[in-house]
């Protein structure tokens, strides 16, 4: 597209970003990557000490970050967090709906109803809530923008160890496609990333229930290793940037080839 302009080398110069699940793991890596690429960020999660540490890390590197304690299971809190992004920074351009939780691994007949509802609220309903609030905020301020939802390669086929987690992530893929079709005419792009095995607390917790998990997952990955969280954040940054200006409605695997 010959009219596209890139105001400097950085991917996200001048953009204001909302990032959920930003206290640790992939979300914290996104905070560092996005600010290095020129964005200002609002970080949300439940654990204040982790948010504070991530924000301090970003500021020490010369970036601009604010944070807000927010439980993704609380619809009003999710909407308020996005409104706070606008009131603190004056606009919203991009959002990374990354926060998520894992179920207790095991077959679906061992899952309690309350566990199903918790995974639904945090991993699927919050993505719908966040996207609708983000679209409203982008419309009212920046005018155009981009959203990336964090799915998982676990959503792409049968997942007997994490069936409820997988179902919600497949729901995220569907919401992503529908949102891309709905908001494309307004030049609001919506994509998802589907990470493979990434070295975070989530995988550590899963491995506690499934000894040898990491080695097993690495052996199923053509690149022969797990991802550093920053490698996942880099894909989100690109999708959120103007460099991906004709990409919408996709679920981008970032998995070392595990689903190739
Ligand atoms: N690691 C992997 O291999 C992998 C693979 C595929 C997809 N993913 C996806 O990547 C995303 C990030 O996970 P991660 O691997 O970085 O795991 P992580 O290190 O456990 O980080 C998860 C983040 O989400 C936040 N979070 C969890 N429940 C929340 C809630 N109810 N309300 C608000 N925030 C909440 C956590 O903060 P608090 O606990 O403080 O709230 C934390 O900041 C998730 O959506 C996950 O499904 C990860």
pLDDT in tens, 139-148: 999 999 999 9
Span between the terminal Cα atoms of the chain, in Å: 30
Q: How far is CA 233 from CA 26, 39, 181, 184, in A?
A: 6, 13, 24, 23
**Closest atom of ligand 1 relative to the 121 alpha carbon:** 31
pLDDT digits over 86-95, tens only? Answer: 999 999 999 9
Q: What is the mean pLDDT of residues 200-211?
A: 94
| pLDDT band at 8; cut points 50, 70, 90 | low
Does the pLDDT value for residue 226 go beyond 70? yes
As a whole number, mean pLDDT of residues 215-235 equals 97
Catalytic residue among 67, 120, 165, 183: 165
For residue range 36-66, list pLDDT tens digits in order: 999 999 999 999 999 999 999 999 999 999 9
| 16-254: CATH architecture | 3-Layer(aba) Sandwich (3.40)
47 CA closest ligand 1 atom index: 40
Verify whether ligand 1 is closer than 6 Å to residue 152 (CB atom): yes
Ligand 1 center to 191 CA (angstroms): 18
Residue 165 annotated to the active site: yes
Ligand 1 atom, smallest distance to 102 CA: 47
pTM of the model: 0.97
Of 198, 194, 206, which is closest to residue 228 (Cα–Cα)?
198
Domain borders along the chain are 16-254
Q: Which residue puts its alpha carbon closest to atom 41 of ligand 1?
A: 46
Gap between the Cα atoms of 239 and 26, Å rounded: 15
16 close to ligand 1 (CB < 6 Angstrom) = no
């Amino acid at each position: 597209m010959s009219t596209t302009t890139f105001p400097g080398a950085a991917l996200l110069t001048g953009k204001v970003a909302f990032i959920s699940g930003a206290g640790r793991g992939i979300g914290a890596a996104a905070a560092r990557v996005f600010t290095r690429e020129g964005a200002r960020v609002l970080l949300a999660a439940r654990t204040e000490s982790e948010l504070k540490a991530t924000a301090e890390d970003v500021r020490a590197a010369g970036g601009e970050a604010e944070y807000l304690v927010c439980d993704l299971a609380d619809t009003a809190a999710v909407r308020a967090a996005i409104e706070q992004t606008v009131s603190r920074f004056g606009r919203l351009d991009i959002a990374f709906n990354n926060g998520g939780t894992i179920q207790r691994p095991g077959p679906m007949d061992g899952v309690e109803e309350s566990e199903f509802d918790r995974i639904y609220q945090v991993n699927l309903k919050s993505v719908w809530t966040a996207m609708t609030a983000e679209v409203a905020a982008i419309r009212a301020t920046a005018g155009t923008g981009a959203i990336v939802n964090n799915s998982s390669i676990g959503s792409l086929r049968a997942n007997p160890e994490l069936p409820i987690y997988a179902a919600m992530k497949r729901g995220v893929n569907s919401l992503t496609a529908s949102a891309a079709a709905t908001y494309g005419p307004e030049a609001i792009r919506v994509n998802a990333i589907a990470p493979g095995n990434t070295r975070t607390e989530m995988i550590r917790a899963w491995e506690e229930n499934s000894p040898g998990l990491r080695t097993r997952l690495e052996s199923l990955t053509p690149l022969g290793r797990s991802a550093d969280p920053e490698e996942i954040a880099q894909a989100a940054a690109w999708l959120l940037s103007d460099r991906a200006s004709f990409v919408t409605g996709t679920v981008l695997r970032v998995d070392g080839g595990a689903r190739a």
